[in-house]
């Protein structure tokens, strides 16, 4: 079986922590990733649940708030303004 290289970009601190974890359990990074790849191919899905803990932008509560705010603007109870852009840090 021929081997191929898989490249992934991750946060530098996460990589250091992951490499350290792998070393502590007696694996290298490639050896620890291979079971994940095999599980994805075998199950045809990500082999664990992916959830979002923070409220997403399009959550029901955020959409309700946005609709309420738009209605207030239509009723003259607010002030529309241009978007204020802030540089990312």
Six-digit token string for 22: 């792998």
Q: Model pTM?
A: 0.53
Tens of pLDDT, residue by residue over 3-18, are 999 999 999 999 999 9
Q: Which of 61, 65, 62 is nearest to 73 (CA)?
A: 65
Cα 47 from Cα 59, distance rounded (Å): 25
Q: 34 near 5, Cβ under 8 Å?
A: no
Tens of pLDDT, residue by residue over 21-68, are 999 999 999 899 999 999 999 999 999 988 777 667 778 888 899 899
Cα 19 from Cα 24, distance rounded (Å): 9
């Amino acid at each position: 079986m021929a081997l191929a290289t898989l490249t992934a970009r991750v946060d530098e601190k996460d990589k250091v922590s992951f490499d350290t974890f792998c070393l502590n359990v007696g694996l290298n990074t490639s050896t620890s990733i291979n079971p994940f790849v095999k599980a994805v191919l075998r199950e045809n899905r990500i082999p664990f649940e992916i959830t979002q803990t923070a409220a997403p932008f399009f959550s029901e509560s955020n959409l309700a708030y946005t609709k309420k705010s738009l209605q207030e603007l239509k009723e003259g109870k607010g002030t529309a303004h241009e978007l204020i852009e802030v540089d990312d840090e």
